[in-house]
């Protein structure tokens, strides 16, 4: 087991050993993936098209048995897997739920995913799960807390994790860091990697009024181990436009443009297309993944991507 602490030298997920090696223990930098939905499992296995890896929410894979586990095991035999947690509450003030962490460890041990990730957020208090990814202030105190929780998670899993940047709808008055600075400090102190969600950057940039490309300037892009791309909703409330991260539509042009810029700066990274509401048929999802995959392949070869038709 690899033990990490706040004083450990920074490492990244691909550098750490895993037991139970299989042919699918790695995801290529040019590989396109999708968030796996039960409705798509049969289509994925029959004709994956441009999709070469899949991601599942950790909490949906915690069953001890049953049809869903058997279906996921079958998918795992054919495709690399990423496990993406939504309930660990890395930013929670009351400490990690040890039983939840133990269940996550069992998922990782069972499926041996190539990547494991969680959100920079909190989602529970006093034993109650709030079913949301809530923001935390970017203060020294919060950084210490999140670093402890990331260290604890990495030690329990025996591997590095990726931490995802959030979508935000408000900013705290008190802050010792901007978000890229907070993420950079987190990577430096814990050795974790980053899951960079470019849709979240666009949503937050519109809601809080910052330049998404300037946001990229502050990130340690070398630590990015996975990229998420998705669509979002636009709402108008009392004359104010609000972007909502609902994963309910194809990625808009501005998200694709930021994705392309990220690849230009960072190089190719495994990319996941997210769709969690208004889920389309497999053919439509695979087609969008193929268009994004063409951008990813072009970036890897140093060519300019073709025009995007969302």
Report residue 308's pLDDT band, with 50, 70 and 90 as the boundaries: low
- Does residue 223 contact residue 217 with C-beta atoms inside 8 Å? no
Q: How large a percentage of the chain has pLDDT more than 70?
A: 87
Report residue 7's pLDDT band, with 50, 70 and 90 as the boundaries: very low
Task: Inform me whether the pLDDT recorded for 14 exceeds 70.
Answer: no
d(CA 198, CA 83): 19
d(CA 26, CA 258): 25
Read out DSSP for 253-279?
Answer: HHHHHHHHHHHHHH----EEE---SSP
Task: Inform me whether the pLDDT recorded for 21 exceeds 70.
Answer: no
What value does the mean pLDDT take over residues 167-176? 92
Q: What is the pLDDT of residue 123?
A: 81
Q: What is the pLDDT of residue 57?
A: 95
Report residue 303's pLDDT band, with 50, 70 and 90 as the boundaries: confident
In CATH, what is the architecture of 27-299? Alpha-Beta Barrel (3.20)
Among the ranges given (62-66, 147-151, 212-216, 255-259), the one the predictor scored with the smallest mean pLDDT: 62-66
Q: What is the pLDDT of residue 268?
A: 96
Task: Inform me whether the pLDDT recorded for 310 exceeds 60.
Answer: no
d(CA 143, CA 152): 14
Q: What is the pLDDT of residue 305?
A: 64
- Does residue 153 contact residue 161 with C-beta atoms inside 8 Å? yes
Q: What is the pLDDT of residue 88?
A: 93
Q: Which position has the higher pLDDT, 18 or 163?
A: 163
Boundaries of every domain in the chain: 27-299
- Does residue 240 contact residue 177 with C-beta atoms inside 8 Å? no
Regarding beta strands 224-229 and 32-35, do their DSSP bridges make them parallel or antiparallel, or are they unpaired? unpaired
Q: What is the pLDDT of residue 270?
A: 97
Q: What is the pLDDT of residue 128?
A: 66
What value does the mean pLDDT take over residues 1-11? 31
Q: What is the pLDDT of residue 16?
A: 35
What value does the mean pLDDT take over residues 235-257? 94
Among the ranges given (88-92, 163-167, 196-200), the one the predictor scored with the smallest mean pLDDT: 88-92
The rounded mean pLDDT for the chain is 88
Tokens 């470019």 identify what position? 198
């Amino acid at each position: 087991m690899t033990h990490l602490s706040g004083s450990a030298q920074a490492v990244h997920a691909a550098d750490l050993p895993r037991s139970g090696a299989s042919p699918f223990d790695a995801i290529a930098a040019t590989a396109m993936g999708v968030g796996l939905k039960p409705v798509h499992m049969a289509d994925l296995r029959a004709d994956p098209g441009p999709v070469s890896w899949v991601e599942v929410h950790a909490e949906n894979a915690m069953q001890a048995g049953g049809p869903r586990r058997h279906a996921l095991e079958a998918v795992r035999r054919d495709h690399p897997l990423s496990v993406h947690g939504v309930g660990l509450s890395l930013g929670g003030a009351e400490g990690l739920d040890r039983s939840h962490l133990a269940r996550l460890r069992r998922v990782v041990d069972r499926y041996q995913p190539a990547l494991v990730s969680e959100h920079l957020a909190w989602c529970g208090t006093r034993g109650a799960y709030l079913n949301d990814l809530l923001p935390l202030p970017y203060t020294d105190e919060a950084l210490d807390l999140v670093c402890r929780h990331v260290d604890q998670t990495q030690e329990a899993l025996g591997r590095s994790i990726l931490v995802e940047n959030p979508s935000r709808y408000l900013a705290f008055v008190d802050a010792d860091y901007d978000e890229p600075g907070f993420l950079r400090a987190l990577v430096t102190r814990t050795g974790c990697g980053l899951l960079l969600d470019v849709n979240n950057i666009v949503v937050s940039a519109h809601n809080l009024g910052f330049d998404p490309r300037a946001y990229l300037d502050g990130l340690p892009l070398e630590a990015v181990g996975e990229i998420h791309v998705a669509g979002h909703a636009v709402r108008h409330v009392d004359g104010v436009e609000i972007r909502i991260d609902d994963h309910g539509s194809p990625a808009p042009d501005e998200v694709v443009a930021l994705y392309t810029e990220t690849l230009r700066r960072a190089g190719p990274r495994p990319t996941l297309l997210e769709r969690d509401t208004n889920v389309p048929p497999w053919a439509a999802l695979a087609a969008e993944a193929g268009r994004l995959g063409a951008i990813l392949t072009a970036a890897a070869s140093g060519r300019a991507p073709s025009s995007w038709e969302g």
